Structures are given as C-alpha cells and as structure tokens.
C-alpha cells in the first residue's frame, strides 16, 4: 500500500479547491457526472473546430468505435451535434452545441481563477520558480518514471 505523502495531501487540497470553484458557478450540477475523458473529447473538438470522427479518433489516439461511443454519449447530453460534411456526405462533422461551449467556458474560467489564486499566494520570485517547475513537470509527465 502506498503511504499518503505531504505532497499527496497537497494535491487533494488543490483538487478540493478547484472543485469548489466549479461548484461556485453551478458547474457541478449539470456537468458533474462528466468524466475527465469526456472533458478531453469536448476540449479536443473545441480545439479542432469541426473535426470528423476519424480526425478526432486520431487526435485522441483511440479507435473510431471508441470515439463514436463517447461522441454519442456527449450528443445525448446535448453537448455535441453531428452533421454531414457539405463536401462529402459520407463524412460526419462534430461540433459543440451552445451548452458544450458553455461547458468549456466554465472550465476555462475555473482554470483562470485557480491560476489567479496561486499568483496571489506567491511572491514574484516564487511564482517565476513555480512556472518553471510546472513547465518542467508538464513537459516530462509522459517521459516515464525518471521524467526523461
């Protein structure tokens, strides 16, 4: 069994604070049941514009059937719409509904609030160091156990 470290508790506290930010804007009520995976799909569709199912599957590094299953769940929740391509009727395009765009805005707003709170807590030197450390962590998370 892995013992909880001081760092682990810090991440729990950060997660609790972030979830309070989301609840503050009634984010959790309607969207609370969405998984991180669902959020990643919505965020990728938003970033890509109006991707095809194939393009989304490639971007997410999943199979088309997996992407299709998640897309249909998000359509049923009213976050996405599927429409035929005007240039090729065999291709369907995915886009966010107004509700899907609202979901992204809530998430981005919570991110901004968290960032601002961290900025308030740290002085300029600490914040510069924090940014550098966070960038290093972010750049190396996929690098394996040794971070390289």
What whole-number distance in Å separates Cα of residue 23 and Cα of residue 32?
A: 9
Condensed to tens digits (0 to 9), the pLDDT of residues 40-94 reads 999 999 999 999 999 999 999 999 999 999 999 999 999 999 999 999 888 999 9
Q: Which residue has the tokens 């309607």?
A: 30
Do you know the residue count of the chain?
148
What whole-number distance in Å separates Cα of residue 146 and Cα of residue 140?
A: 9
pTM beyond 0.75: the answer is: no
**Residue 103 binned pLDDT confidence (cut-offs 50, 70, 90):** confident
Within 36-78, strands assigned E span none
> Does pLDDT of 147 surpass 80?
no
Q: Tabulate helix, strand, coil % of the chain (nearest 5).
A: 70, 5, 25
> Does pLDDT of 28 surpass 80?
no
Mean pLDDT score of the chain? 85
Residue 129 CB partners (closer than 8 Å, separation 6+) = none
Please provide the CATH number assigned to the domain covering 8-143.
1.10.10.10
Pair 82, 75: CB distance under 8 Å: yes
What whole-number distance in Å separates Cα of residue 104 and Cα of residue 39?
A: 8
Pair 75, 81: CB distance under 8 Å: yes
- Residue 74's pLDDT is what? 95
Tell me how far apart the terminal alpha carbons of the chain are, to the nearest angstrom: 26
Beta-carbon neighbour count of residue 42 at 10 Å? 24
**Residue 8 binned pLDDT confidence (cut-offs 50, 70, 90):** low
């Amino acid at each position: 069994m892995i013992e909880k470290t001081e760092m682990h508790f810090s991440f729990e506290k950060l997660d609790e604070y972030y979830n309070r930010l989301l609840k503050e804007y009634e984010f959790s009520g309607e969207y609370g049941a969405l998984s991180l995976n669902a959020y990643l799909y919505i965020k990728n569709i938003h970033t890509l514009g109006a991707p095809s199912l194939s393009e989304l599957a490639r971007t997410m590094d999943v199979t088309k059937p997996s992407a299709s299953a998640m897309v249909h769940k998000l359509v049923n929740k009213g976050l996405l719409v599927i429409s035929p391509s005007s240039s090729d009727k065999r291709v369907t395009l995915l886009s966010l509904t107004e509700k899907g765009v609202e979901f992204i805005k809530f998430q981005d707003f919570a991110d901004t609030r968290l960032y601002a709170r961290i900025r308030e807590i740290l002085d300029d030197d600490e914040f510069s160091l924090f940014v550098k450390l966070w960038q290093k962590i972010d750049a190396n998370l996929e690098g394996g156990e040794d971070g390289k």
